[in-house]
């Protein structure tokens, strides 16, 4: 106990030292931090974490992350130390407000979870306590950005100490982190935190692949040392000859980044060409004391001079050049990126920036807020940070949106790259990448969007769904006879366009409500039935409608016919009940191999109801099925999600499972494979190869003869010398699948093999 108290005191002293290293602390700041520390230590005195350590170590660790890794100041430290006291102890917000003031109380309230018992909401399939908490955080973030910085620091420490949690909790927290906190760290420009969160998530959701790639990266140490001799040394000599003050840093791509590239590009680890990166950070004393615009102009010139020096030594790849100085990213990131060929045949990414740019790159949007706090009277024009927060505020003000809708819309703003489009008058409009003509029209004016029929892009006529590219000039074409439809929602990317379309459709549906309700009333009256809430609920469930308005609109516009209404209420001609067929239902509903949902029993015993999965005792009566989205096979790490009264079993790294676990933690069911069962699972493999005679014959030989597997379907199409195909086949386990993919990959001309 005495030793623990000593470690607590040492950690506190480390925190104070880190604060002083960041900025001078006033006597009042030090006193308030000391008060917060004592309140937190006393409040959590009898509490320990799942790992067994004293709870006070967690708020201290969060405060250290806020100071050392984000660069925040005393207010953030005080809030980090106190961030759990309201949620977990008897201390109230009023208590904190009385001691530390209103701002500290508001920030602590922002990071405090909503008490589930106090949630007043309809507990239906769309309700999510996690989404309600996200919404609360977003509201607080718009009021004070420190809320979201502290939530990220809190999440990072929770992920670092996740080992002691039970498996389902590990997956729930990891999925939530991947779903919301990783893209949020990206959007805020906190790249080191984003990278670490990605790595930690992968360790829990895909540990086997993480270990495999990590082992391969560790074997590249020799190459990294060679690069320092033949690549870094010549650059240093050239920079020294030109009298630059600089720092050079190097890194190897993270495990998660490698895996992501392997997935997106369909390549093997050995084919990743930008595994290594170098960062050149220039110190330019000549810019000190100059106005911002003048200093930035000099910085840009010097960065391009260094770029010229680097490319005079090594051949660049033109397609990999990125100028984030002329056009900074939407989180303020500035840098020049190029990829060059090293003397030993490896591509190396080179990033060139100044110390100011590097500070922004490391601290992201936090640098903006710290600057704003240090200069409260200074107005920052056209701040991308303020524009982003205003966009979120606008969304949050809409009373018609559920918490889930708000979170989904917010998430769309996080990973968005930007393009710059010109109007006919030469004005610039900033849009997210993949934005369409319709997005552009709504960005100009809602009326222009509502009547858009297409556009002239660089003098060529294109449809409303045409995806725009940076630098294009767009003239919107309209017709007063054109109005938004449901299909338009598929053609837009921006929240602004989506909201305008939804508002129009919502208002249009309201106009039809009375007509649809009257038609339904008349229909039921003809069949001597009354219009009741129960019958409306039955109709919504039968036709999969989200609201009364959607239902009445569909009836008014004849999307739901009288015949369909009769079927819903069983008012049509009675159908014979063919009970004698039920024992054979599986034969008709399953696939031609006798299984259901892509599962084929391989043992000799007949056990049609035996599931390949085992769950906990609380859910053992629910039917289990492999999820069709990720098609797990035996050996995959899996998790169950309760969906429509069944347990759908997903791979732990399945995007759909991650989404469900991050918004509906209460639906997670611990699931594992039933041992000793030999069951074949339907799975898919996509391939890409150089087209040649006999390719299909070799593929079928490998599958049928070499691996002794059964195929369900095979498609192979060739165009311009390239063959692409999809194989649907049955495998017993992950080992067989990996072996098969390796055999296919070894065939002559095969360039890409990937599980789907």
Contact 449, 482 (CB under 8 A): no
- Cβ atoms of 634 and 732 within 8 Å: the answer is yes
Q: Give the whole-angstrom CA distance, residue 717 versus residue 514.
A: 52
**SS3 state at 685:** strand
Roughly what angle, to the nearest 10 degrees, separates helices 495-526 and 384-396? 10
From 483, 474, 411, select the one nearest 439 (Cα to Cα): 474
Give whole-number Cα distances, 241 to 236, 301, 309, in Å.
9, 18, 11
Query: Distance between CA 488 and CA 508 in Å, rounded?
Result: 15
Q: Do residues 442 and 497 make contact, with C-beta atoms less than 8 angstroms apart?
A: yes
Distance from C-alpha of 95 to C-alpha of 82, rounded to nearest angstrom: 11
Catalytic residue (choose from 14, 53, 87, 751): 87
For residue 6, how many other CB atoms are within 10 A of its CB? 10
Neighbours of 699 (CB within 10 A): 23
Q: Cβ(500)–Cβ(450) under 8 Å?
A: yes
In this structure, the strands spanning 347-354 and 276-283 are parallel
Helices and strands in the chain, H and E counts: 31, 21
The gap from C-alpha 208 to its chain's centroid, in whole angstroms, comes to 21
DSSP β-bridge partners for residue 603: none
Q: Nearest-CA neighbor of 114 among 94, 81, 139?
A: 139
Catalytic residue among 88, 102, 271, 717: 88
Q: For residues 29 and 16, give the distance between their C-alpha atoms in angstroms, rounded to a whole number.
A: 10
Rounded CA separation 333/318 (Å) = 21
Paired sense of beta strands 460-462 and 668-669, if any: unpaired
Strand order in the sheet with 668-669: 624-626, 646-651, 638-643, 668-669
* 736 is known as an active-site residue: no
Strands annotated E in 258-314: 276-283
**How far is CA 98 from its chain centroid?**
39
* Whether 107 contacts 144, CB under 8 Å: yes
400 within 8 A of 547, measured Cβ to Cβ = no
Helix (H, G, I), strand (E, B) or coil at 202: helix
Contacts of 637 (CB under 8 A, 6+ apart): 205, 206, 207, 208, 651, 652, 653
Nearest of 623, 596, 750 to residue 687 by alpha carbon: 750
- Taken in order 358, 362, 367, 370, the sign of the CA dihedral is negative
Nearest to residue 523, comparing CAs of 510, 539, 541, 537?
Answer: 539
SS3 483: coil
Does residue 433 sit in helix, strand or coil?
coil
Token pair 């917060």 is found at 36
Report residue 670 as tokens: 């611990």
**Nearest Cα residue to 366 out of 408, 332, 415:** 332
| DSSP bridge pairs for 278 | 250, 350
Nearest to 307 by CA among 224, 242, 250: 242
Are 34 and 51 a contacting pair, CB within 8 Å?
A: no
46 is catalytic: no
Who's near 501: CB < 8 A, 6+ residues apart?
449, 484, 488, 489, 492
- Active centre residues (catalytic): 87-88
């Amino acid at each position: 106990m005495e030793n623990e108290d000593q470690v607590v005191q040492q950690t506190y002293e480390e925190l104070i030292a880190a604060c002083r290293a960041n900025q001078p602390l006033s006597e009042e700041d030090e006193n308030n931090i000391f008060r917060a520390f004592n309140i937190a230590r006393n409040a959590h005195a009898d509490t320990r974490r799942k790992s067994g350590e004293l709870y006070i170590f967690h708020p201290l660790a969060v405060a250290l992350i806020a100071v050392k890794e984000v660069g925040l100041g005393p207010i953030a430290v005080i809030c980090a130390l106190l961030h759990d006291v309201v949620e977990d102890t008897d201390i109230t917000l009023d208590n904190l407000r009385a001691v530390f003031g209103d701002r500290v109380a508001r920030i602590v309230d922002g990071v405090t979870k909503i008490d589930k018992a106090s949630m007043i909401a309809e507990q239906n399939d769309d309700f999510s306590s996690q989404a309600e908490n996200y919404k609360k955080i977003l509201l607080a973030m718009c009021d004070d950005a420190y809320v979201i910085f502290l939530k990220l620091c809190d999440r990072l420490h929770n992920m670092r100490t996740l080992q002691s949690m039970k498996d389902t909790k590990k997956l729930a927290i990891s999925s939530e982190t991947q779903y919301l906190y990783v893209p949020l760290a990206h959007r805020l420009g906190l790249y080191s935190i984003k990278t670490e969160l990605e790595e930690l998530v992968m360790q829990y959701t895909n540990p086997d692949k993480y270990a495999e790639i990590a082992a391969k990266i560790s074997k590249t140490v020799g190459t990294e040392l060679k690069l320092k001799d033949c690549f870094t040394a010549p650059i240093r000599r050239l920079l020294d000859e030109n009298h630059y003050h600089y720092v050079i840093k190097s890194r190897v791509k993270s495990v998660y980044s490698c895996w992501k590239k392997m997935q997106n590009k369909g390549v093997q680890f050995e084919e990743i060409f930008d595994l290594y990166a170098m960062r050149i950070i220039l110190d330019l004393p000549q810019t000190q004391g100059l106005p911002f615009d003048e200093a930035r102009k000099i910085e840009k010139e010097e960065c391009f001079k260094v770029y010229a020096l680097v490319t005079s030594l090594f051949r660049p790849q033109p397609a990999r050049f990125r100028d984030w100085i002329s056009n900074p990213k939407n989180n303020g990131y500035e840098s020049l990126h190029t990829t060059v060929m090293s003397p030993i045949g490896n591509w190396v990414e080179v990033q060139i920036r100044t110390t100011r740019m590097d500070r922004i790159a490391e601290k992201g949007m936090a640098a903006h807020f710290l600057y704003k706090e240090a200069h409260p009277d200074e107005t920052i024009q056209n701040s991308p940070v303020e524009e982003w927060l205003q966009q979120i505020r606008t969304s949050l003000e809409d009373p018609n949106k559920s918490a889930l809708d708000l979170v989904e819309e917010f998430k769309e703003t996080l990973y968005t790259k930007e393009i710059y489009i010109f109007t006919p008058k030469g004005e610039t409009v900033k849009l997210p990448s993949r934005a369409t003509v319709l997005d552009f029209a709504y960005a100009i004016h809602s009326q222009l969007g509502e009547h858009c029929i297409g556009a002239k892009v660089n003098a060529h006529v294109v449809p409303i769904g045409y995806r725009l590219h940076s630098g294009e000039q767009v003239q919107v074409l309209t017709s007063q006879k054109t109005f938004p439809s449901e299909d338009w929602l598929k053609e837009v990317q921006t929240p602004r366009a989506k909201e305008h379309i939804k508002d129009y459709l919502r208002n249009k549906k309201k106009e039809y409500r009375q007509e649809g309700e009257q038609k339904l009333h008349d229909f039921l009256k003809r069949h001597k039935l009354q219009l009741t809430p129960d019958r409306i609920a039955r109709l919504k469930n039968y036709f999969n409608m989200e609201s009364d308005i959607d239902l009445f609109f569909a009836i008014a516009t004849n999307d739901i016919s009288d015949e369909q209404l009769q079927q819903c209420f069983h008012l049509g001609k009675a159908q014979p009940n063919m009970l004698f067929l039920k024992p054979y239902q599986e034969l008709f509903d399953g696939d031609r191999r006798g299984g259901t949902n892509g599962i084929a029993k391989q043992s000799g015993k007949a056990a049609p109801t035996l599931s390949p999965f085992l769950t906990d005792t609380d859910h053992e009566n629910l039917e289990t099925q492999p999820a069709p989205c990720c098609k797990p096979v035996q050996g995959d790490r899996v998790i169950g999600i309760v969906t429509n009264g069944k347990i759908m079993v997903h791979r732990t790294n399945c995007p759909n499972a991650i989404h469900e676990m991050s918004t509906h933690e209460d639906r997670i069911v611990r699931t594992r494979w039933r041992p000793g069962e030999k069951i074949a699972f339907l799975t898919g493999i996509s391939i890409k190869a150089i087209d040649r005679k006999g390719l299909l014959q070799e593929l079928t030989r490998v599958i049928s003869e070499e691996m002794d597997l059964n195929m369900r379907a095979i498609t192979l199409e060739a165009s311009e010398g390239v063959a692409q195909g999809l194989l649907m086949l049955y495998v017993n386990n992950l080992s067989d699948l990996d072996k098969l993919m390796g055999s296919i990959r070894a065939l002559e001309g095969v360039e890409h093999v990937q599980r789907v």
